[in-house]
Structure 1
Amino acid sequence: MLPNFERIGSVTLIAAGVVPEHIYEDKASGKLDVRPGLKAALKALRAGDILVVWKLDRLGRDLRHLVNTVHGLEGKGVGFKVLSGQGASIDTTTPAGKLVFSIFAGLAEFERELISERTKAGLASARARGRTGGAPYKMTVAKLRLAMAAMGQPETNVGSLCKELGITRQTLYRHVAPDGSLRGDGKKLFEKKGK
């Protein structure tokens, strides 16, 4: 029977000189945000220490997370070393390892810029087609007319009106004055939708 990944990783780390008491592990996927083992390992590190991982994918969820984590380590004066797999050439305690990692950091920055450009292009394209982002407005023309009629009556309970319309007091008062007249946002809504 073949040993599982955690067992292989632990054996590899011990063979590299890591003391078994200093091995941290998570039983969940590396893609999850909640990783208590990683959090504890990062908290235990001090200046001059080296964080050793079995494989690169054991540390980072994605390239950006990996780069940010290693930059945080460098800021604390902690080295980083990968033992096997795709990132085995990374050892930030050596000049060659720092070079490889700086290339990774450049790729992560490039990825961020591409995502930003695509997002901006997508939003511009949607606006050109008459679509806007965000959640739909809670206040509609029909609700606004009901609110105007109700607010013009002195016996109206504002809390009950808001609950019935499914809006907050702030939304109501941005659109309608206490006497039932239109305010700025109410006028804009009528202009936008047309009476």
Structure 2
Amino acid sequence: MHIGYARVSTQDQNTDLQLDALKQAGCEQVFHEKKTGSTLQRTELDACLRALRKGDTLIVWRLDRLGRSLKDLVEIVNGLEEREIGFKSLTESIDTTSAGGRLVFHLFGALAEFERNLISDRTKAGLAAARARGRKGGRKPKMTAADIKKAAAMLKDPSITKTEVAKHFGVSRVTLNASLTREGYPANPAQL
């Protein structure tokens, strides 16, 4: 059985072009939805994947209609392949029911993995270079060393609570405690 899936990203777009192409390709059932590709929950795609059985073929108009990214696309098609379900993309002329189509798709998968590795390597190199220049990663601390020194001085007064000090500096008590600890002050005001 040929089952189609069509998707457009916004409500003002329509799936007519895709639906016509899928019907012309022989799809007996077509699932379609209007959701952006970045949306994690695509209910019609989930229903489509559940409807597919061994020996069926999933057909899409274009590759980008199915997956949010190349990695996502490869995972979906690999899942289909494990279930012995074929995949066709009409625009790119990819057909995993043929040996040539499987080869092309595996090349896509290899390129996606290569791209992920390159991004990871560049990120690691960038972090190492930043560390070599004395920069630390992560978010800038909410409290400066001078703020922490003032907070510690304020906390020496037993009539001032940690909540009041935290509010004065515009931070939470947790942030205040972490900041005090980072600068070597005890988190317990009685020990100041």
AA partner of residue 166 (structure 2): C
Q: CA deviation at 1:136?
A: 0.5
Residue of structure 2 equivalent to 1:179: none
The one-character-per-residue Cα deviations of 1:98-139 (angstroms, maximum 9, x if unpaired) are 222111111111111111111112222222333333210122
Structure with the higher fraction of residues in strand conformation: 2
2:139 aligns with 135
Write out per-residue CA displacement over residues 165-194 of structure 1, whole angstroms, 9 at most, x where no aligned residue.
222323323344xxxxxx4x2239xxxxxx
Q: Among residues 50, 57, 68, which one is paired with 2:57 in the alignment?
A: 50
For 1:33, the equivalent position in structure 2 comes to 39
Identity of matched residues, %: 45
* Alpha-carbon displacement from aligned partner over 1:8-27 (angstroms, at most 9, x marks no partner): 322221122212xx212233
Task: State the superposition RMSD in angstroms.
Answer: 2.5
Runs of 4+ with deviation above 6 angstroms: none
Unaligned 5+ residue runs, structure 1?
Answer: 177-182, 189-195
- Aligned twin of 2:112: 108
Cα 1:12–1:174 change in 2 (3 A) is closer
C-alpha separation in 1, matches of 2:149 and 2:80: 59
Task: Give the distance between the partners of 2:159 and 2:82, measured in 1 at CA.
Answer: 64
How far apart in 2 are the matches of 1:55 and 1:172? 52
Shift of residue 163, structure 1, vs aligned partner? 1.8
1:80 pairs with 2:87: yes
Taking the TM superposition and a 5 Å limit, the aligned residue runs for 1:156-167 are 156-167=160-171
**Count of residue correspondences:** 172
Q: Secondary structure at the match of 1:25?
A: strand
- Larger deviation: 157-166 or 68-77? 68-77
Normalised by the length of structure 2, the TM-score is 0.75
Q: TM-score, normalised by structure 1?
A: 0.74
Quick one: higher RCO (CA 8 Å, sep 6+), 1 or 2? 2
